[in-house]
Amino acid sequence: MQAQHVSVALGSTTRRPASPPLPAASRQLRRMPRERTGPEMRLRRELHRRGLRFRVNLSGLPGRPDIAFTKIRLAVFVDGCFWHLCPTHATMPKNNADWWRAKLVRNVERDREKDQLLAGLGWVTMHVWEHEDADEAATRVESAARALGRAG
């Protein structure tokens, strides 16, 4: 199984321009949840309801996967449409557009780097978009987990 992610044609950069958001915006961004988001919790509850057991925000692995099946080495990330440039729902802010474009493109690059690092450690990665139906996403994750369990 390969990592499932969408390519983004917005240009690539490894450094953000020097003008970060205003201090008020920075404070607001720091307060945004990074774990236990609504979409992540719905997926976790559905996987658990189906009898699957997993670790949450497993430290020690690149990217701290939102959901990790350690025995079969499956890492699942629940990606926000804005932050990871969903091909269906991504929007680009108009204020400070260059800074935001560089930041968001770098997020996608970091996702790919994290997937490669995990693959080098023998892990399979999956990405679920926040807009995906939790039942459908759980079916995809469960199928992958069961297939890896049989292969292992």
pLDDT tens digits for range 86-132: 999 888 888 889 988 999 999 999 999 999 999 999 999 999 999 99
pLDDT tier, 18 (very low <50, low <70, confident <90, very high otherwise): low
Specify if 3 maps to a domain. Answer: no
Q: What is the mean pLDDT of residues 5-16?
A: 46
Specify if 6 maps to a domain. Answer: no
| Cα first-last separation, the chain | 13
The most distant pair of C-alpha atoms in the chain lies apart, rounded to whole Å, by: 51
Q: What is the pLDDT of residue 23?
A: 66
Please state, in angstroms and rounded to a whole number, the distance separating the CA atoms of residues 10 and 22: 24
**Which strands sit side by side in the sheet containing 55-56, from one edge to the other?**
55-56, 67-69, 74-79, 124-129
Decide if pLDDT at 16 tops 70.
no
Q: What is the mean pLDDT of residues 34-54?
A: 91
Q: What is the pLDDT of residue 33?
A: 55
Please state, in angstroms and rounded to a whole number, the distance separating the CA atoms of residues 40 and 38: 5
CA 45, 46, 51, 55 torsion: positive or negative? negative
Specify if 42 maps to a domain. Answer: yes
Specify if 139 maps to a domain. Answer: yes
Decide if pLDDT at 13 tops 80.
no
Q: What is the pLDDT of residue 77?
A: 97
Residue whose entry in the numeric block shows the structure tokens 């961004």:
29
Specify if 116 maps to a domain. Answer: yes
Specify if 4 maps to a domain. Answer: no
Specify if 22 maps to a domain. Answer: no
Q: What is the pLDDT of residue 95?
A: 86
* Domain total in the chain: 1
Report the run of H or E that residue 140 belongs to, with start and end. Answer: helix 134-151
CATH label of the domain that carries residue 71: 3.40.960.10
pLDDT digits (tens, 9 = 90+) for 51-97: 999 999 999 999 999 999 999 999 999 999 998 999 998 888 888 89
| 8 Å CB contact between 46 and 134 | yes
Q: What is the pLDDT of residue 6?
A: 40
DSSP 8-state secondary structure symbol assigned to residue 79: E
53 alpha-carbon distance from chain centroid: 19
Decide if pLDDT at 27 tops 80.
no
Residue whose entry in the numeric block shows the structure tokens 């039942």:
135
Specify if 90 maps to a domain. Answer: yes
Residue-number span of the structural domain to which 99 is assigned: 35-151
